[in-house]
Amino acid sequence: MSTPDFLCRLATQADREVVESFDRASSEEGRLFRGVEVLDESLGSFANRWPTGSMSGAMPFFVVVEQGEIVGFAILDRAAEPRPLLTRIYVTPRARELGAGAALLNYVTAHAEREGADSIDALSLPGDRETKNLYERQGMKARLIIASRST
């Protein structure tokens, strides 16, 4: 079996419907893990995150494509401090463990580097081992856990 060829690029307005459906799927899969409600609330609605002007603005969306079909997306918040923050990465189940996530993460990181960032941070929900493992396979290290308690 051959390894798929993945192409990564900035999302375009024509990608909106597919990316929005993947954003919903990512949120639904997140229901398996603690903290998804807080993450979804902090991210806000898709309509407010999707760029209305330049796709390379403060929060660019990226897609990974295999044979002309989008199989995943990522969002980079370039305005986050102290470094750009990968707020969401999602790859369809059929494209997982084939290199799509790695290709997308590497593309986003290279994009941030071209824009002057020397590093990026990335979010993952507690218990989401797939995402954490992807980050670690690509040389990222977990360095912060945020714990909360209602008062």
pLDDT score, position 88:
94
pLDDT score, position 52:
66
Q: Is residue 142 part of a domain?
A: no
Q: What length is written for the chain? A: 151
The rounded distance, in Å, linking the Cα atoms of 105 and 99 is 10
Q: Is residue 78 part of a domain?
A: yes
pLDDT score, position 4:
79
pLDDT score, position 49:
86
Q: Is residue 151 part of a domain?
A: no
pLDDT score, position 54:
58
pLDDT score, position 142:
84
pLDDT score, position 94:
93
Q: Is residue 15 part of a domain?
A: yes
Q: Is residue 31 part of a domain?
A: yes
Task: Name the phi and psi angles at 67, rounded to 5.
Answer: 45, 45
Q: How many domains does the chain have?
A: 1
Q: Is residue 74 part of a domain?
A: yes
pLDDT score, position 2:
59
If the chain, 151 residues long, is cut into consecutive pieces of 10 residues, what is the mean pLDDT of each piece? 82 94 94 89 88 70 96 93 93 94 96 92 91 92 78 78
Range of the domain at 90: 6-137
Instruction: Name the 3-class secondary structure at 83.
Output: coil
Contact between residue 46 and residue 27 where contact means Cβ atoms under 8 Å apart: no
The rounded distance, in Å, linking the Cα atoms of 116 and 113 is 5
pLDDT score, position 56:
63
pLDDT score, position 17:
96
Q: Is residue 112 part of a domain?
A: yes
pLDDT score, position 50:
87
CATH number of the domain encompassing residue 113: 3.40.630.30
pLDDT score, position 10:
94
Q: Is residue 60 part of a domain?
A: yes
Q: Can you give the pTM of this predicted structure?
A: 0.90
Q: How many CB atoms lie within 10 A of CB 121?
A: 17
| Strands 85-91 vs 61-66: parallel, antiparallel or unpaired | unpaired
The rounded distance, in Å, linking the Cα atoms of 66 and 146 is 35
The sheet that has 121-122: what strands, in order across it?
Answer: 6-10, 61-66, 69-77, 85-91, 121-122
